[in-house]
């Protein structure tokens, strides 16, 4: 356990273990007999006590004792002494069991259950906790129980905070004490308790306190983790904020029902094609929220009633919370009102209801407006409805001229992010604090080479750049990006065991560089050369290929993207793409996707037509059934209407096909490239053609 090598047991130890096992089996057998026959005599309870003192992890025994307590209480006729005796015996059994294993979940839960009944004194509990915390000051069971007792006794958070100070000053390495300190301070700051307001004053004192730990032992991670919590408290807004939308504020959206806009080279911010008679309205928040509905978000439109709108969270889990939310507005009837610009206004934050997972309400009112116009389909394009194959070769793309603003596909770049005004004094304090912490960590790193110190410096620098972008909205340059990238490269060499973590953090920095300003983003925007395809028209492709990305981020800046090239990266997950509701063409080839379940976010992209997942690692690894986000192929109740057996070949291995069926079922793809994956063969391609009847092209060949 915890890296300690196991020693070969001695013969006498083996014999003792066998004798103990035999004794436990006998006690377990007697317990089950008493349990099934509802025998709650004194002798029966003694048997359960002996079993628990030998094996505190016997959950059945704890549950049996709960039933016994309830039974004996019903027989006691409310005699106070008898009731007290019953609960005192339970506390004694728990204490004896904890001496055997003071990290037993069952024992701690049973003790909470006993005390919650309200018949026992809690005065003894803190003394008991002191003993256990002296034995192991990082026992999180004991700390959880301490919070329970403090709430039960009504001990003020201020008093418990002093207790953490005492333990930390005794041992800076007490991670659990630091963690409990963060929990207590969160409550005190949130409730603005006297002496803990304003927040800035408290955080300054906490920074000074944790500095002692960092300089005393820079290699100990306990203080650094608390420093990270302080950093989060410094930079994170106190309430959820709307940070991005599509359409963007002030834009003039031109919708084509057939996806063809008379051949005009329009910006992806202003052009959109719809075959379903609707177009998406996307809200993106700085954190996951719930409560987005027609009551908390008001959409004023002449062709859609606000009460009829259904908002959906864009999350791959079944959670009701998500950072991105979408609803769909009806497209005006072009035959009745051709080329009419319809104004649409969206308001939120005026009434409480949008809430973060931590319980904070979105209290900052937000408003954005845009217009929608339906472009009539020209006769020459109405005659041409063939579906051409999309090629992702370099020769099919050409870059935009960064100096020609009229042709820029990102003319609305400055409106991608919604900047919230901060209190000037507060903003200056945040910036000053970050500058001070950066200087302090630099000083420490000049004296000692510390991995977690480098990681903290990288986080501080990125937080400082983000803060500056809020204080100066028109200055998007990330000053410290190159230094942060180098820090993560150094960490990958110093700490190869966690290289994937650093790689993903580095990917986020790279994406922030790309999306930080108009010029850098335009370098990755290309025009796709397709001469006759009505489905593509003059699509702008955002090419983020060959960047060694292992994680997707900055999605709030990319809600407008309809064509995306992420090929030749190191992606193992595509979480985040579900927010990009306009995506119609996606290239994920030459990555490290190992299963079809990694494609789960794509199920939320209803407009996706072209998908390239060729040359990944799908089928090269055993199927991890724990990662299923869909029903099991062995289920007889969920998914029984999917008719899976109608599609899969008779001699096929179910696990090889089930993931693909569960992911692709319901897709309307016209083109799919899957060659170069271990799972791909002719039988599998035939299976996909059956599952996806809309397919016209498979691996570069026309499907039949």
Does residue 630 surpass a pLDDT of 80? no
pLDDT of residue 31: 94
Q: Minimum mean pLDDT among 329-343, 444-458, 579-593: which range?
A: 329-343
Q: Minimum mean pLDDT among 10-24, 426-440, 522-536: which range?
A: 522-536
Retrieve residue 346's tokens. Answer: 């969206």
Q: Are 158 and 195 in contact (CB under 8 A)?
A: yes
Pairwise CA distance, residues 206 & 488, whole Å: 27
Q: Are 102 and 136 in contact (CB under 8 A)?
A: yes
> pLDDT tens-digit profile of 641-676?
567 666 767 666 666 688 888 899 889 999 999 999
Strand partners, 355: 290, 361
Does residue 252 surpass a pLDDT of 90? no
Residue 385 binned pLDDT confidence (cut-offs 50, 70, 90) = low
Retrieve residue 512's tokens. Answer: 């922030």
Q: Are 576 and 553 in contact (CB under 8 A)?
A: yes
Mean pLDDT score, 143-159: 93
Mean pLDDT score, 307-314: 92
> pLDDT tens-digit profile of 370-379?
998 887 655 4
Residue 592 binned pLDDT confidence (cut-offs 50, 70, 90) = very high
Does residue 637 surpass a pLDDT of 80? no
Q: Are 677 and 616 in contact (CB under 8 A)?
A: yes
Does residue 406 surpass a pLDDT of 50? no
pLDDT of residue 260: 46
Mean pLDDT score, 179-203: 93
pLDDT of residue 468: 83
Q: Minimum mean pLDDT among 211-220, 417-426, 615-624, 669-678: which range?
A: 417-426
Q: Which residue has the higher pLDDT, 500 or 658?
A: 500
Does residue 409 surpass a pLDDT of 60? no
Pairing state between β 322-330 and 278-290: antiparallel
Counting other chains too, the contacts that 96-102 makes at CB distance below 8 Å and 24 or more residues apart are 96/49, 96/52, 96/53, 97/52, 97/53, 97/56, 98/56, 98/132, 100/53, 100/54, 100/55, 100/56, 101/56, 101/57, 102/132, 102/135, 102/136, 102/139, 102/141, 102/142
CA-based nearest residue to 554, from 510, 502, 598: 510
Q: Which residue has the higher pLDDT, 77 or 620?
A: 620
For residue 197, give Cα distances in angstroms to 186, 201, 332, 609: 12, 7, 52, 54
Mean pLDDT score, 21-49: 93
pLDDT of residue 644: 66
Alpha helices (runs of H) in 567-692, residue ranges in sequence order = 654-664, 682-691
Pairwise CA distance, residues 177 & 222, whole Å: 9
Q: How do the residues of the chain divide into helix, strand and coil, expressed in percent and rounded to 5?
A: 45, 10, 40
Q: What is the mean pLDDT of the chain?
A: 85
Pairwise CA distance, residues 146 & 177, whole Å: 11
* % pLDDT > 70, the chain: 82
Q: Are 574 and 588 in contact (CB under 8 A)?
A: yes
Mean pLDDT score, 469-487: 77
Mean pLDDT score, 495-501: 95
Pairwise CA distance, residues 328 & 330, whole Å: 7
Q: Are 524 and 502 in contact (CB under 8 A)?
A: no
Peptide bond into 372 cis (omega under 30): no
Query: What is the residue whose two structure tokens read 């719930």?
Result: 290
């Amino acid at each position: 356990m915890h890296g300690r090598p196991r020693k070969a047991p001695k013969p006498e130890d083996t014999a003792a273990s066998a004798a103990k096992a035999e004794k436990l089996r006998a006690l377990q057998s007697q317990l089950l007999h008493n349990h099934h026959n509802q025998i709650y005599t004194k002798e029966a309870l003694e048997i359960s006590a002996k079993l628990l003192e030998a094996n505190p992890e016997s959950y059945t025994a704890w549950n049996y004792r709960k039933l016994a307590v309830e039974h004996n209480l019903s027989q006691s006729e409310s005699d106070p002494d008898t009731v007290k005796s019953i609960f005192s015996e339970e506390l004694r059994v728990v204490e004896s069991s904890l001496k055997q294993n003071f990290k037993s979940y069952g024992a701690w839960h049973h003790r909470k259950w006993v005390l919650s009944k309200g018949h026992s004194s809690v005065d003894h509990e803190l003394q008991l906790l002191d003993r256990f915390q002296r034995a192991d000051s990082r026992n999180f069971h004991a700390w959880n129980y301490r919070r329970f007792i403090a709430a039960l006794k009504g001990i003020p958070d201020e008093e418990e905070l002093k207790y953490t100070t005492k333990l930390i000053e005794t041992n800076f390495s007490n991670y659990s004490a630091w963690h409990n300190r963060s929990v207590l301070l969160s409550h005190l700051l949130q409730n603005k308790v006297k002496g803990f307001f304003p927040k800035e004053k408290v955080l300054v004192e906490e920074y000074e306190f944790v500095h002692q730990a960092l300089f005393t032992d820079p290699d100990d991670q306990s203080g650094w983790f608390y420093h990270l919590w302080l950093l989060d408290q410094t930079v994170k807004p106190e309430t959820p904020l709307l940070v991005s939308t599509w359409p963007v504020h002030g834009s003039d959206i031109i919708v084509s029902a057939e996806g063809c806009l008379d051949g005009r080279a329009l910006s992806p911010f202003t052009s959109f094609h719809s075959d379903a008679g609707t177009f998406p309205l996307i809200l993106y928040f700085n954190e996951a929220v719930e409560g987005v509905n027609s009551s908390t978000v008001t959409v004023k439109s002449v062709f859609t009633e606000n009460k009829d709108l259904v908002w959906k969270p864009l999350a791959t889990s079944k959670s009701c919370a998500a950072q991105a939310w979408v609803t769909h507005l009806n497209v005006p009837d072009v035959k009745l009102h051709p080329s009419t610009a319809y104004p649409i206004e969206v308001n939120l934050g005026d009434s409480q209801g949008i809430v973060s997972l931590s319980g904070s309400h979105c209290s900052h009112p937000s408003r954005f407006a845009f217009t929608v116009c339906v472009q009539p389909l020209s006769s020459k394009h109405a005659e041409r409805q063939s579906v051409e194959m999309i090629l992702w070769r370099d020769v099919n793309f050409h870059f935009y001229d960064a100096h020609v603003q009229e042709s820029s596909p990102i003319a609305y770049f400055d409106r991608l992010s919604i900047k919230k005004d901060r209190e000037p004094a507060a903003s200056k304090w945040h910036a000053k604090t970050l500058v001070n912490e950066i200087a302090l960590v630099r000083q420490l790193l000049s004296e000692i080479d510390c991995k977690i110190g480098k990681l903290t410096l990288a986080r501080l620098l990125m937080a400082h750049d983000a803060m500056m972008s809020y204080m100066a909205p028109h200055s998007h340059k990330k000053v410290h990006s190159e230094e942060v990238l180098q820090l993560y490269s150094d960490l990958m060499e110093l700490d190869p065991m966690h290289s994937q973590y650093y790689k993903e953090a580095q990917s986020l920095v790279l994406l922030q560089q790309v999306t930080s300003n108009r010029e850098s983003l335009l370098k990755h925007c290309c025009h796709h050369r397709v001469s006759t395809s009505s489905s593509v028209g003059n699509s702008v492709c955002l090419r983020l290929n060959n960047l060694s990305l292992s994680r997707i981020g900055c999605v709030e800046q990319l809600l407008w993207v309809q064509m995306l090239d992420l090929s030749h990266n190191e992606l193992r997950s595509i979480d985040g793409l579900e927010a990009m509701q306009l995506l119609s063409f996606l290239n994920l080839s030459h990555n490290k996707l190992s299963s079809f379940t990694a494609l789960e976010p794509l199920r939320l992209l209803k407009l996706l037509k072209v998908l390239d997942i060729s040359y990944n690692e799908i089928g090269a690894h055993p199927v991890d059934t724990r990662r299923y986000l869909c029903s099991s192929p062995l289920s007889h109740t969920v998914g029984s209407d999917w008719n899976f057996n109608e599609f899969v070949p008779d001699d096929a291995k179910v696990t090889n096909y089930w993931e693909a069926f569960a992911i692709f079922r319901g897709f309307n793809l016209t083109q799919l490239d899957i060659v170069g994956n271990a799972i791909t063969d002719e039988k599998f391609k035939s299976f996909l053609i059956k599952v996806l009847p809309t397919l016209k092209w498979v691996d570069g060949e026309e499907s039949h």
